[in-house]
Structure 1
Amino acid sequence: MTTGQATSPRGGVRAAVLGALLVLAGLNPSPAAAEPETACAAGTGPYQRELEEHIGRPVDGVQSSADCLAVRAFQRKNGVIPADGYPGVATYRTMLVVAARPDPNAAGDCPVRSYRVTCVDMDRQLLWVQQGSRVVFPVVPVRTGRDTQETRPGWHEVYWRSKDHKSTLYADSPMPYSQFFDGGQALHGRTGYLYAHGGSAGCVNLTVADAERLWNLLDEGDAVYVWGTKPGTDD
């Protein structure tokens, strides 16, 4: 015979059932301790000042551990890979998208029309579609033509679409969801890293996912308006 209060079998069952219900509801009664934040050691990046200003850090152009953590938090929030705290080109381009989202045409550079207009801002390397003053395709990053192969500015029109297109000039390079708007220049997806090689050969490159969504919106005859100058190219 043992001493002390015996536990009721029913009480034990009730406790087990309650614990299981809490786990299923995401309310684990004994949660594991959160993993500590790992150190952030990325150095100063080429877009240090721009990121510091955007995320509200002191703007001195020199990466600190606090800057690194803040940049990494921005990267994680906005899906930048790798989220390592380094203020590189992918993070900067994402920052431009985030900053433009409330009103990408705030400067009025893209003409407002009653019909759909695909707006290609080469200054900021951004694209969106508007109809009237309403944005019908949200702003996304793009890669326009490099120096000597610049994307041609001005008014254009989608004149041909080829979903599984391959380049006849560049060794059958894939150009998924191609929507041609001017003499061989097209809006199309780019497999791999969007920001490689300093620019395209004149086309407006999007991620494949963004190019597919744009393909599902546009049609032949839709207007495209291009303006500005890609950073790093001649006027």
Structure 2
Amino acid sequence: MGDIGRRSAIALAVTGLLTPLTLALGAAPAQSASCTTQTGPYQKQVEKFLGRPVDGKQSAADCKAIQAFQTKHGITPNAGFAGAVTWGVMDLMNKQKAVGDNPNADGKCPVNKGRIACVNLTLQLSWIQDGKKLVYGPVPVRTGRDGYETRTGLKKIYWRHIDHVSSIYHVPMPYSQFFDGGQAFHSVGVSMWNPPGSHGCANMTKTDAKKYWSLLKNGDDVFVYGRKPGT
């Protein structure tokens, strides 16, 4: 791409589309709040997910287990309440697990493009396929939150920068592979289930971002579809 196009892409990448500083750096988990004694609206579902006795009643042990889950994934407030956000994360995890090793069962990601990176926003999953052959994944991703949605459609990787840093927020964005106006695959140091999401990029773990870096190149196709829960 030309210098003007590249400068425009970099400008977009550093003006709010991507993960803010504290999230990209992997901020330390919040201090645990006092445990609530309240029974949440999703008490039974959360108890089942965590392997707790399913009685639909909050206990001290339930609260500690819920609180530990919330702290691990950056869910706030982390007071051990079985609310909608906590259950939403758990429900998404269940749906991701159910996909198994056939992420393109619905056939929505093109199989006539050769090697392509697919992003299912609804399930917050990504994978790389070559025709109908699964090359890598599926892996969890953390895409754009409400108001900063990761844009859907067929795209191409147009610029790669292994040590990319935002010049405005000074945010490290390792293994960046840009595919749409500043939106990119890149690694972050927070949970892939940390709500509410990124500022447009497809966040990945370092392990997955490195693998994507090794498998993809400029000009490779990326297909983004679906809708992230909560957007």
Bucket of the pairwise TM-score, normalised by the shorter protein? 0.5 to 0.7
User: In the alignment, what sits opposite 1:223?
Assistant: 221
CA pair 88-160 structure 1, distance change in 2 beyond 3 A: same
Number of residue pairs matched by the alignment: 178
State the distance in 2 between where 1:51 and 1:113 align: 44
Task: State TM-score, norm by structure 2.
Answer: 0.64
- Residues 96-130 of structure 1 show CA distances to partners (whole Å, capped at 9, x for unaligned) of 33211231111112111251111100011110111
Segments of structure 1 that go 5 or more residues without pairing to the other structure are: 1-42, 76-80
Give % identity: 42
Counterpart residue identity of residue 140, structure 2? P
102 and 192 in structure 1: CA distance in 2 versus 1, 3 angstrom threshold: closer
> Rg: which structure is higher?
1
Mapping of residues 12-51 of structure 1, within 5 Å: 49=45
Instruction: Give the superposition deviation at 1:49.
Output: 3.9
Name which of 202, 210, 213 aligns with 1:212: 210
Q: Distance in 2 between matches of 1:88 and 1:174?
A: 31
Q: Kindly tell me: are residues 141 and 47 of structure 1, through their superposed partners in 2, closer, same or farther at Cα, counting changes over 3 Å?
A: farther
Q: Measure, in 2, the Cα distance between the counterparts of 1:102 and 1:47.
A: 30
Matched residue, 2:102: 103
Asked if 2 retains the 8 angstrom alpha-carbon contact of 1:186 and 1:203, the reply is yes
1:131 and 1:204 mapped to 2: Cα distance? 20
**Aligned-partner Cα distance in 2 for 1:94–1:112:** 26
1:157 Cα shift? Answer: 0.4
Equivalent residue, structure 2, for 1:164? 163
RCO (CA 8 Å, sep 6+): is it higher in 1 or 2?
A: 2
> How far apart are the structure 1 equivalents of 2:204 and 2:43?
21
Amino acid at match of 2:111: V
2:20 is matched with none
The one-letter code matched in structure 2 to 1:124 is L
Alignment of 1:1-235 (within 5 A): 49=45, 52=48, 62=56, 91-169=90-168, 171-233=169-231
Corresponding residue SS for 1:216: helix
What SS does structure 1 have at the residue aligned with 2:97?
A: helix
C-alpha distance in structure 2 between counterparts of 1:122 and 1:196, whole Å: 15
The 8 Å contact of residues 49 and 61 in structure 1, kept in 2 or not, is answered as: no
3-state secondary structure, aligned to 1:99: helix
State the shift of 1:185 in Å. Answer: 0.6
Structure 2 residues not aligned, in runs of 5+: 1-38, 74-79
CA 1:61/1:200 → structure 2, altered by over 3 Å: closer, same or farther? Answer: farther
Kept in 1, the 8 Å contact 2:127–2:139? The answer is yes
C-alpha distance in structure 1 between counterparts of 2:55 and 2:152, whole Å? 33
* 1:88 to 1:115, Cα distance in 2 relative to 1, 3 A: same
Provide the rounded CA distance (Å) in 1 between the counterparts of 2:130 and 2:95.
22
Q: What's the CA shift string for 1:190-224, capped at 9, x where partnerless? A: 11233334111111111122111111111111100
Q: 1:173 to 1:55 in 2, by over 3 A?
A: closer
Structure 2 CA distance for aligned equivalents of residues 47 and 127 of structure 1: 30
Q: What residue is the counterpart of 1:37 in the other structure?
A: none
Corresponding letter in the other structure for 2:145: R
